[in-house]
Amino acid sequence: MSQPSQVRTYVPTESAVFLKTNERFGGLSNMAPGFPLVVNGVRIRTSEALYQSCRFPHMPEVQRMIIGERSPMTAKMRSKPYHRASRPDWDGVRVKIMRWCLRVKLAQNWATFGRLLLSTGDRPIVEKKVRRKDFWGATEQPDGTLVGMNVLGRLLMELREQLKGDEAESLRFIEPLAISDFLLFGQPIEAVQAAPNAEIPGWTPRRPSQTDAIQPQPSDPQPSLFEQPMITDTQPIAATAQNEPGKSTQPLKPYEDRRAAGLPWLSEIPAHWQVRRSKYVLREVDKRSETGEETQLSMSQVHGLVESAKIDTWRLRSESYAGGKLCEPGDLVLNRLKAHLGVFAHASIPGVISPDYTVFRPVDDIEVRYFEHLYKTPSYKAELRKRTKGIVEGFWRLYSDDFYDVRVVVPPKDEQSKILAFIDSYDRRVRRLIRNKRRLIGLLNEQKQAIINRAVTRGLNPNAPMKPTGIDWMPEVPAHWEVKPLKHWLRERAKALSDKTSPEYEFDYLDISCVGTGFLTAKPERMKFEDAPSRARQIVQKGDTILSTVRTYLKAVYFIDEERPDLIASTGFAVLRPVERVEPRLLGYVLQSSTFIERVIRASIGVAYPAISEARLGTLHVAFAPDLVEQKAILDHIAAETAAFDKAIEKAQNEITLIREYRERLIADVVTGKLDVRHIEIAAPVDEPISDDDDALEEDLEGDDAEVMEGADADN
């Protein structure tokens, strides 16, 4: 019997209604043909057959009988005699299973089903039932309205709004349900993934606006049937704080009582917050180490303040930390040379740090980490930048008296704690989301590299005679190819900017953090020569391939495919320009092939900071077809086979960028009092590793710790 609170009423003329599969919206029905599925390698004709087979995980023969039927209605009828033998928790998991089936249907029919789903616009989706079965659909009433729980329609609306929103790309990869005995033919059901080249014509995902995030509308007052809340236009994902799966979604909202802040970079603050000068919040302490035997700590934009041995810039540290500054847990440490970049970090353990850092200790009982976040916001970084002194940016300093004069907003202590709990909870979810997207990029890149690797080592003719090379990582190549050390395939070295270059000369700078394997992970940074790091020197041009000779495990290789007269690369790259009888792009593919990159890594020297000299790099053998016509054919083949992967990788990278931008904006709004998080119930974090290999990779790609350390220790 249905719950009265879950019954909906719909006006047919204002809704997207389907009853028969040959109607306009008939494809939304589970009975609709034309949307085939493949699960665990098993071809299944309709989502109805998949749903019905999930009733009987412990009866593989019944599953085979259901899936073997050509008609979805027959498949449904085949299951009826066995309903009493359905999995014992069927009533409790059937909505979950239906939701999963619909997502599989979308992922494996991305263009056709996605286009149909989006064609319903913002109208309610309703499955019309002829008989009075009001759970999955709605039945017609004497007044012409449709009344029922319409669970299928509501699941479809939920899926439609996700497809429009920020998490659209995540719908391409469907994890198996986290329920017991989720089996097909006795085997655990595996993840399902959309084809990387699948697109919906004319579709652009809608992302929640800033206005939505600040001023959410009231949500549906009726409780949901679903463990995960319905996603509607009135509850954009970005405007909510969902702690863990199964918890209710809580919208963020502005503080009700506000007053003028009196700050040029912040107009209003909550009425009960204070504004103080930094000197009344934090005071400098300068206690020095006599022996330098304390735990040595180093500052990093990525890692914060950590034990020096845990970051890979060991070679940049001082031989002795005697005379270094001591810090205690709860101190706030500032890199004076990088204050305008937000290089603040709290000390979680006692230790000794560079004398060029500044140690601040709380004046009162405060949450130091709250102020760490505050000083890192864009508005505060801009204010700190105004107060730094120096001629060259690399040597700008923020002195303590100038820091003391910066006014900060100070919420009550308990509210500081609440804000930190919210940020920590949000960060955990962001890390998981970025980690998953990086894993997707990794999988796509592996498939792409497999195509490239085969083409550049074996050519396109599978029947071509082969010859041995005597090289372990490339044992054989087509017999007519030439095998030579890399240096024989290259011409002149790239030119470099002179130290006499005009300080006002502007260029786009590519450092290692911008480059992945065959793609850019971030846009080059625009800068002036006077502001650039000392390694921003190498002039690159169209047709060059840049390959990182430091931290080679990052596999940073990229082909410059467009004319950019003002593009400069770090001296940490080898800039490789081929001779005329080698297609430049083909050289790029050879150098980014997995076999060559792994050889570079093995030839590198060093553990924490592995590197390879350009001379050693030039001795590694590579092979090319002597005929430019064959080289071009290989290029065309690679381009055709990898285009879809490139597009999918680019989308995932763009999503990571947007996630980070939103995170920065959200944290800034929370710590400056624009959004109220006091009502947000923070769930206890689930047990999980603080970081893993993917987190480490993310950190390596986010920034260059070596640059931070160079600035920190410049005057030691």
Residue 63 lies in a domain: yes
* CA atoms of 307 and 266, how far apart (whole Å): 36
Give the pLDDT score at 703.
40
Give the pLDDT score at 229.
33
Give the pLDDT score at 286.
92
**Where among 207, 239, 267 does a domain terminate?**
207
**Where among 175, 207, 239 does a domain terminate?**
207
**Where among 147, 182, 207 does a domain terminate?**
207
Give the pLDDT score at 314.
38
Asked whether the beta carbons of 197 and 647 are under 8 A apart, the reply is yes
Residue 643 lies in a domain: no
Q: CA separation (Å) from 399 to 116, 335, 456, 716?
A: 61, 10, 56, 17
Residue 172 lies in a domain: yes
- Residues 617, 477 share a domain: yes
Q: CA separation (Å) from 445 to 532, 548, 644?
A: 32, 18, 11
The count of structural domains within the chain is: 3
Give the pLDDT score at 449.
83
pLDDT of 38-72, one tens digit each?
Answer: 998 899 999 999 999 999 999 999 999 999 988 88
**CATH number, position 79:** 1.10.357.40
φ, ψ of residue 478 to 5 degrees: the values are -55, 140
**Mean pLDDT along residues 16-21:** 92
> H or E stretch including 74?
helix 72-79
* CA atoms of 677 and 153, how far apart (whole Å): 33
Could you give the residue ranges of the DSSP H alpha helices within 549-627? 584-592, 594-603, 614-618
Q: Is the pLDDT of residue 241 over 80?
A: no
Give the pLDDT score at 311.
57
**Mean pLDDT along residues 343-364:** 89
Q: Is the pLDDT of residue 522 over 60?
A: yes
Give the pLDDT score at 250.
61
Alpha carbons within 13 angstroms on the beta-carbon side of residue 210 total 7
- Residues 416, 562 share a domain: no
Alpha carbons within 13 angstroms on the beta-carbon side of residue 70 total 0
What's the domain range around 309?
258-430+656-712
Banded model confidence at residue 368, pLDDT cuts 50, 70, 90: very high
- Residues 372, 271 share a domain: yes
- Residues 488, 372 share a domain: no
pLDDT of 570-618, one tens digit each?
Answer: 999 999 999 999 999 999 999 998 888 888 998 999 866 789 999 999 9
Banded model confidence at residue 371, pLDDT cuts 50, 70, 90: very high
Residue 678 lies in a domain: yes
Greater model confidence, 188 or 312: 188
Give the pLDDT score at 480.
94
Q: Is the pLDDT of residue 265 over 90?
A: no
- Residues 405, 362 share a domain: yes
Asked whether the beta carbons of 184 and 39 are under 8 A apart, the reply is yes
- Residues 382, 479 share a domain: no
Greater model confidence, 513 or 151: 151
Most confident of 305-314, 367-376, 607-616: 367-376
Burial class (CB in 10 A: 0-12, 13-18, 19+), 287: exposed
* CA atoms of 663 and 16, how far apart (whole Å): 36
Greater model confidence, 115 or 214: 115
- Residues 45, 146 share a domain: yes
Region of poorest pLDDT, from 49-53, 241-245, 657-661, 665-669: 241-245
**CATH number, position 361:** 3.90.220.20
Q: Is the pLDDT of residue 521 over 90?
A: no
- Residues 522, 597 share a domain: yes
Q: Is the pLDDT of residue 392 over 60?
A: no
Give the pLDDT score at 179.
87
Residue 231 lies in a domain: no
Banded model confidence at residue 227, pLDDT cuts 50, 70, 90: very low
Q: What CA dihedral angle connects 420, 424, 426 and 429, to 10 degrees?
A: 180
Banded model confidence at residue 153, pLDDT cuts 50, 70, 90: very high
- Residues 671, 536 share a domain: no
Q: Is the pLDDT of residue 399 over 50?
A: yes
pTM > 0.85: no
Query: Percent helix, strand, coil in the chain (nearest 5)?
Result: 40, 20, 40
Q: Is the pLDDT of residue 357 over 80?
A: yes
- Residues 265, 377 share a domain: yes
Q: Is the pLDDT of residue 476 over 60?
A: yes
Average pLDDT, the chain: 82
Q: Is the pLDDT of residue 96 over 50?
A: yes
- Residues 275, 172 share a domain: no
- Residues 142, 53 share a domain: yes
Q: How large a percentage of the chain has pLDDT more than 70?
A: 84
Q: Is the pLDDT of residue 201 over 80?
A: no
Residue 483 lies in a domain: yes
Residue 238 lies in a domain: no
Asked whether the beta carbons of 10 and 150 are under 8 A apart, the reply is yes
Residue 528 lies in a domain: yes
Banded model confidence at residue 682, pLDDT cuts 50, 70, 90: confident
* CA atoms of 536 and 524, how far apart (whole Å): 12
**Mean pLDDT along residues 75-95:** 89
Tell which residue, 308, 328, 307, 417, has the closest CA to residue 373: 417
Q: Is the pLDDT of residue 225 over 70?
A: no
Banded model confidence at residue 236, pLDDT cuts 50, 70, 90: very low
* CA atoms of 349 and 331, how far apart (whole Å): 9
At which residue do the structure tokens 């070679």 appear? 315
Helices first, then strands: H and E counts in the chain: 17, 36
